[in-house]
Structure formats: C-alpha cells, structure tokens
Structure 1
Amino acid sequence: MKKAFYKTLYFLAYGFWYLVALLPFPVLYLLSDGLYLLMARAVKYRHKVIWKNLKNSFPEKSDDELRQIELGFYHWFCDYIVETLKLMTMSKKQLMKRMTFTGTDELNRVLFEGKSAAVYLGHLGNWEWITSLPYWVNNALCCELYHPLENEYFDRLFKFVRERQGALCIPMQESLRKIIQFGRSGKPLVVGYISDQAPFWWSIHHWVQFMNQETPVLTGGERIVKHMSQVFVYGDVTRTRRGHYNCEFRIIREETKGLPDYEITDLYFKELEQSIRRQPEIYLWSHNRWKRTRARFDEYFEEIDGKVRLREGKEMIY
C-alpha cells in the first residue's frame, strides 16, 4: 500500500514538474518573483540560519550590508528553484547559451592525454545546470557524486533530470567502486565533487578555516582523487546575469598522487571562499553548514587509528 502511494506521488510529481518546465523563462521568473515575496517577506524562510551564517562569515559588514546579501540570496534561490524545474525540458541549445564554460581548452588537453579530472564545485550558482558539461568536453565520460534521496521514487525522478544531458550520477557510498568501473570504459573521466556539505560526526577527520569559521569538511573525495591520480580542477562559478552562469575551469594540481594529506581539500576551500566573497548572494546560506563545532566534537568524539569513535560515557549526538 505504501509503495503504491509513493508510486502515485512520483507520477503526480513528474507530471507537475514537466508541465511547469514547459513554461517559458519569462513566466518562470514571474513565478520566482512571487515566490521571493513569499519566502523573503512573509515566511522568512530559514532566516535565523541564514542570518547566523552571514553574521559569522562577514563580521566586517554592517547589518544593512548583510540584509542586502540576504535579500539577494532569496532572489537567487527562488530563481534556482525555477531554473532547476526548467532543466527537465531544456534543450542543448538553451543550456549551452545559459550555462557556459571557460577554461575547457586546458580541461580537454588533460583528457586528450588520457588523464581523468576531478572538478571541485560548491553550492554556488546553479550547480544543477553544470550537468550540461558533456556538451563541452571531448571524448570523456562525465559523472557526479550525489547523496541519494531516502524515497527511491523521488530519487529516481531527480536522477532522471540530472542525467538528461549525459552526465551520470554516482551515489556517494558507491563512489570509488563506480569510478573504477567507469574508468575501465577506455574513456577518461570528469568527476564532479560538490564537497562543501557538513559531514556526519563520525566522518570528521579534518577542519579548515572557511568563511571566518573553523569548519569540519569532507575528505573522502580527496582520497579518491589521489587514489585514481585525477587532475585537480576547480570550477569557479559566477552568475553573469539573471538566468545565465559561467563556470571557469582552473587546474590547481595536475599531479595529485603524492600530495600531502588534505592539501587538495585545503586548496579547494580557499578557492571556494574567494568565489563566495565575490558574489555572496549566490551561495546556499540556508544550509546549516556550521552546525557541528570543534568544541562539541572534542567533547563527544575522539579519533583512534584513523577512526572517529564516541568517547566513553557519551551518548550519540546528530
């Protein structure tokens, strides 16, 4: 019964998404403007989290400046929602006009040499549209790591939309196995890593100074990059105007196999912080990124032989 219910919801969601995606961009942006009034003015969606993140990240800015960034965030976030819905029906021509890439000559060079590339990105701009990268690279298999949704039907729906342009989605828990498997295809890989999420407590092995705060970070992607000798590339995303984005590829380290632990992660967060400070309104401030603190970690956990364990006498926290 439950399965039938979720299956029905899936078809309803698919139909609704498809119908909305048929609307032209001017109409979608009118919907976005209405959604902005609701989220920013009436509901004040996740205002406390957004404000806390902005205050801690930009202590040098006045409240008026932070308020302008917050309002800009709401405008961008509502655009991001309708742009993601539109992805279901966007043509190759539309995507290549609205989501452009620069630095592809260097990326194609390393791919031509038979090397695979790790493209590090953040929750900046429209990361969903970056799935159109297969239109811009030569003779390579493009894929991205992602966290599957708990509901298998909705996970299938989002996966379908993300893979329309030819990029494959790899569940995080299967990442290394799948990357090795895809590597046997005979084509070089371009793997997208969006690595600015908050890790679970037991996955914390490294902290960085990021946006003026001590921040726990994911390091699993770095281990894969070094194990597979992937070229470390940063994707610097900007919004050039409403509904138009550019991603500039910059090779940070071409040889990664022997790099010191966490060097890739540290360099990534330095690059990402520069991108955010340039256009702070297009970063995902509504995510409770800094909910896990170093003091809390040290109180409840300890790392023994490379594994994070709960301290004796402590109960698990989430």
Structure 2
Amino acid sequence: MRALRFRLALWGWRSLSDLIFLVLFRVWPYRRNIVLLNMARCFPTRSEKEIRQMVTAYFRHLADLIVEPLMIGGVARGSLGKLVSYENTALIERLLREKKHIVLMASHYGSWEYLLSLPLQTDCQVLAAYSPVSNKWINSRLLKLRGRFGAVMIPKSEWYRRTLGWNAESSAIFVTIADQRPPESGKYYLNFMNRKTFVQSGAARIAVQRDCAVVYLDVTRRERNAYDFRFRLITAQARELGEAGIMEHYYKALENTIERQPEFWLWSHNRWKFHSRQGQKPVNALKLL
C-alpha cells in the first residue's frame, strides 16, 4: 500500500512539474536569455542545437526543482531511499570519530533541498542556513519542511556568527551552498566554466577559522526526481590547505560535476552579473586569516 501511495504521489508531483515547465518555458519564458547566454559562454565548443537542447532540459529540471522540496518534505521515511541515496558515508563517520567538525560544501546542483535529509545518516548535529521569507506563515511552513529530519536551520544573516561560535561538545556538520554569487563584484575571482568568476569564500573562511574537515558533495541524478549524493574529501585540516586551496579544489570539483550533467546546475541564476574592475585579485591571492 505504501508503494502504491508513493507512485500516486509521484505521478501527481510530476504532473504538476510538467505544467510548471509549460508555463516557464512556453507561456512566460523565465530568464531564458540568461540561461541561453550562460550555457553558450560556458560551452563554447558546443553547437547551437546542443545548447538549445541543454536549455530545454534545464527548464524541465527547473520545474522539477520547484516541486522537489514538497516531495522530500512529504515522503514517508520508508520511501526516502527512492528519492535520495548517500554514498561514502564512511568518510563522514571517520571524520566524526576523529572529533572533527565538517564543512560540507554543496552547490546549486541537483536538488539541494534533499540534503536536509542528511541528519538521518549521522548522529551528529547538522546545521544549514536559510533565507527567511517575508510572509510569516510561508516561512513557518518552509522551516517545518526543512527541519523535518532534524536539521538545525539558521537564518543566513546569523550563519557566520553562529557557526564560528558553535561550541557543542560533539562534532557538527555545517552545510554550505558554496557557489553563491557575492553581493557585489568583490575582491577575489577564479577561472570557472571558462569564465572569470567572482566568488564568496565564507565557507572556506569558516573552515579555516575552526580548522574543520572540508568535504565536497558530488551529486548525480539517478533518474527524474532522484539523486545520489557522494561525499568527497577536500581536506581533513582546513588550515593546512588554506582558503585559496579550498576554493580552488571546490570549484574544480563543481566544474567536473556540471560537465558530467550540465542541465542540473542553476543556470537561470545571473552568476556572472559583475564585471572586472581594477584592483581585484585572483583567488590564489587569498590570505589565510
């Protein structure tokens, strides 16, 4: 009976996603020019036909992405494995046995909302940042969905202070979506997807300050609405690698993930909004704090 309920719910979610796709792609084209431009510049060797196929595939994924938080928030725990699986959890277990705090560097790839099921994979506390919405009822509902599996949700404005000041006796995992565009062009950049890209180094800064272990979350879409998450070690001692080294390793790993299945990254985000200005430095000029 549970399997039948899951299949019926999946049919409903996918039908809603198909309708959203028609709206976003046909009726009200949502940032389609930004998506097309981003993909064309990041994949200069691909033909126009290939780029347009990628754009269509991306909008199908974007529609799925809108309904997937409802899916992960409503699915029975016994059916959770049909939506998400975790690989190389032994790495996390080893780092926790070594009493290490972990900065988990995720990205806008696949469905990052699924990552809020991580507390079911470990006994330690899992902290994640969120951006509050102005409507209090909606904000409360989102927090309930996102905290359903035990994640400690922290407002984005308090994230840096709370993570640096986290003094729990047991180790914790700090989940960061690390490919955020900085609020302005900023000082630091690197080469990412064939483009000069300004970066935020907040996740690396936290890791260095606390000398955390740093782990990259590699994501593969197994099938529609289902993802495999794999943990890959960047460094067990952040201070040895430093901010610059952490960011370089992270963005190289993310680039490899995107090139494997390009359509599942958040291409409608205006990631390359800012232009160069005098006095900016490459990421390898970042200094250890």
Query: TM-score, normalised on structure 2?
Result: 0.89
State whether structure 2 residue 14 is matched by structure 1 residue 29: yes
SS at match of 1:70: helix
State whether structure 2 residue 276 is matched by structure 1 residue 276: no
Q: Mapping of 1:157-306 within 5 angstroms? A: 157-182=141-166, 184-201=167-184, 204-294=186-276, 297-298=277-278
Q: Mapping of 1:62-141 within 5 angstroms? A: 62-137=47-122, 139-141=123-125
CA contact (8 A) 1:95 1:129 kept: no
SS at match of 2:169: coil
Instruction: Give the direction of change, closer, same or farther, for the CA distance of 1:194–1:140 in structure 2 (3 Å limit).
Output: same
Cα drift, residue 199 of structure 1 = 0.6
- What residue number does 1:41 align with? 26
The CA distance in 1 between the partners of 2:59 and 2:266, in whole Å, is 10
Q: Aligned-residue CA RMSD in angstroms? A: 2.2
CA contact (8 A) 1:229 1:255 kept: yes
The CA distance in 2 between the partners of 1:159 and 1:181, in whole Å, is 22
Matched residue pairs, number? 277
Consecutive unaligned residues of structure 1, counting only runs of 5 or more, are 1-20, 307-318
User: Residues 150-180 of structure 1, C-alpha deviation per residue, up to 9 Å, x if partnerless?
Assistant: 4454333322221111111222332233224
SS at match of 1:36: helix
Q: 1:52 aligns with which of 20, 37, 41?
A: 37
Query: TM-score, normalised on structure 1?
Result: 0.81
CA contact (8 A) 2:235 2:241 kept: no
After superposing on structure 2, the runs of 4+ consecutive aligned residues of structure 1 that deviate more than 6 Å are: none
SS at match of 1:239: strand
CA contact (8 A) 1:125 1:239 kept: yes
The CA distance in 2 between the partners of 1:190 and 1:225, in whole Å, is 11
- The residue type paired with residue 245 of structure 1 is Y
CA contact (8 A) 2:216 2:234 kept: yes
- What residue number does 2:130 align with? 146
- The residue type paired with residue 277 of structure 1 is E
The CA distance in 2 between the partners of 1:82 and 1:118, in whole Å, is 27
CA contact (8 A) 1:208 1:215 kept: yes
SS at match of 2:73: coil
SS at match of 1:298: coil
The CA distance in 2 between the partners of 1:230 and 1:151, in whole Å, is 35
The CA distance in 1 between the partners of 2:142 and 2:231, in whole Å, is 26
SS at match of 1:165: coil
- The residue type paired with residue 186 of structure 1 is E
- The residue type paired with residue 90 of structure 1 is V
SS at match of 2:179: coil
- The residue type paired with residue 41 of structure 1 is R
The CA distance in 2 between the partners of 1:151 and 1:58, in whole Å, is 39
Larger Rg: 1
Aligned-pair identity in percent equals 32
Cα drift, residue 46 of structure 1 = 1.0
